[in-house]
Amino acid sequence: MPQATIDPALAPQYGLLTLRALEDAGHEAWVVGGWVRDALRGVAAHDVDVCTSAPWPQSKVALEAAGFVVHETGTAHGTVTAVVCGEPVEVTTYRIDGAYTDQRHPDSVTFVTDVREDLARRDFTVNAMAWHPTRGLLDPFGGAKDVAVGVIRAVGDPAVRFDEDALRILRAVRFAARLDFDIEPATQAALRAAAPTLAGVAQERIGTELRGIMVSGRAAWALRHQREVMFAALPELAPMEGFDQRSRYHCFDVLEHTICVMEGVEQLTVGKASERLRWAAMLHDIGKPTSFTVDEAGQGHFYGHPGRGRDISATLLRRLAIPHELANPILALVRYHDRPCAPKVEPVLKLTASVAAMSGLKRRDEVLELMRELVCLRRADALAKAPAYRIYARELDDHEAVLEKIEREGLCWSTRDLAVSGADVMAACGIAPGPAVGERLSALLADVMAERVPNDRLSLLAWLGRG
């Protein structure tokens, strides 16, 4: 294989200036980590990390002498962060790690003078390379070859790497998902064996890695092919495996149906699904195993599973420290993914009001976008049913047409979207502030939603005048 090279033009100026400042002060320095990996793929990555022979106090002196602001962000591990051309650049002294008794952080670090020793402590070969604009690529573990063939491989003994830091188990899956790489067999076997140790990792860190898997668009791959790891990270998913739905509407168990829905939202959005839609696709039927009943004819039912799924998902997302602004729309999609709704204006507006309330979204365009995502989830759900029942996916075209009408004509689902206010109600009806004002607005909204009166000020004032 030809010697791998990186086009220096891919290197951002702030990274090169950082190297120059350190080397002008007599220290050795390299660009390391993810930037090197992505540059080998021809991707102009944004984040640049630098490794240097200089102890951190000397790094700070050299960088400040070059005119950069420097923050002491991790000096126990030899790291400072320089702000160069407005961009943060982490600068870390070459080091080796001591024992990892908590399976997350080294008990101690030892600073060294050889960058190769520093690279040897890293997790995967594709992340264990260094680059310099004149010295070129330093690749002691074959990372460039693994990048070329698309493989995630642990540096050294994979069992040792995962024993040191259990979060690397999930990181391996994230990198494979994000880069569309395979995981090398020995690394794969080790991560499966070590998957239970994820139980000792802080949940917010697991949440961060899972979000990385979600935004890759390959969470369905992860759930299908890295099941042990995903179940260790999300134990609530495990009961879905092999769960026979015993329903004529379904030809898959709950887990396989879920994976098909996850694949479906990617196909329906051409790989552009939002993160919240991807989470909802994975969680939409998580309430089924605990909602299962069988009737006298032996037919399986899951009465109330969307509400149960919403409750399980809320606990799960809170545990993973998923931000409310992401979690609440996910919960709305899970809760209403199976809600019966005729493709007519009034029922769709009522459903929209419920989705808006649970999601916490206020702006009309944001609520309508979430409603379109709900239709997408429902369509993917229909396409993952038994063949005879996939026709429902086509029926959702009528729901999309109603949403287009709601958007085009400015139809409303909330009293705050009415063309009159509480003050208008008091003036037109001659009533004082109080519950009666809200009651009149609610009654007026009901007639607007039923298309008995248009949402324009004159029409609404005339309606109030009749009351």
* Residues 111-157: tens digit of each pLDDT: 999 999 999 999 999 999 999 999 999 999 999 999 999 999 999 99
- Average pLDDT of span 436-453: 90
- Average pLDDT of span 273-293: 98
Instruction: Check residue 456 and give its pLDDT.
Output: 87
* Residues 220-250: tens digit of each pLDDT: 999 999 999 999 999 999 999 999 999 999 9
State how far the Cα of 399 lies from the Cα of 348, in Å rounded to an integer.
8
SS3 208: helix
What domains, with CATH codes, occur in the chain? Answer: 8-149 (3.30.460.10), 158-203 (no CATH), 234-409 (1.10.3210), 415-466 (no CATH)
Query: Percentage of the chain with pLDDT > 90?
Result: 83
The model carries a pTM of: 0.92
Beta bridge partner(s), residue 84? 87
pLDDT at 451 over 60: yes
State how far the Cα of 82 lies from the Cα of 153, in Å rounded to an integer.
31
3-state SS of 303-358 is CCHHHHHHHHHHHHHHHCCCCHHHHHHHHHHHHHCCCCCCCCHHHHHHHHHHHHHH
Q: Tell me the chain's radius of gyration from C-alpha atoms.
A: 28
Instruction: Check residue 71 and give its pLDDT.
Output: 97
* Residues 44-95: tens digit of each pLDDT: 778 899 999 999 999 999 999 999 999 999 999 999 999 999 999 999 999 9
* Residues 97-107: tens digit of each pLDDT: 766 555 556 66
* Residues 344-364: tens digit of each pLDDT: 999 999 999 999 999 999 999
